[in-house]
Amino acid sequence: MFKYEDRIVSNRESKKLCFMVMQNTGNQLFTESVLDEVFISLPKHSKNKNDVAMNILRQFDLDFLAHRHPQSLSGRQKQRLAIACTLATGREILALRAD
């Protein structure tokens, strides 16, 4: 449990609010393309998934890599992709973890 916006948040509720990005993103990226990584992070009932995903990738200067395999990216690009996926989830709290 922790306090967020002047209320106590249960462990169960924290899973809906939080998302963690590890420094070693190799453990977080496992699809066949950069675009697919963002797709799987979007809420299930999202509309215009392709447009939303490409907009998020554009914000992180990754749109030109949309069809590349995530493991072929540089370390910095992988980190930006992991953060882009976090943004796609719509979660309110982002935790960055240094291993």
- Domain ranges in the chain are 19-97
> How confident is residue 99, by pLDDT bands cut at 50, 70 and 90?
low
Q: To which H or E segment does residue 89 belong?
A: helix 75-89
Q: What local confidence, expressed as pLDDT, does residue 61 receive?
A: 98
The distance of Cα 60 from the centroid of its chain, to the nearest Å, equals: 11
pLDDT of residue 13 exceeding 70: yes
End-to-end CA distance of the chain: 23
pTM for the structure as a whole: 0.85
Instruction: Tell me the helix, strand and coil percentages in the chain, rounded to 5.
Output: 50, 15, 35
Q: Where are the alpha helices (DSSP H) in 20-71?
A: 34-41, 49-59
pLDDT in tens, 21-71: 887 887 889 999 999 999 999 998 889 999 999 999 999 999 999 999 999
14 beta partners:
none
pLDDT at site 74: 95
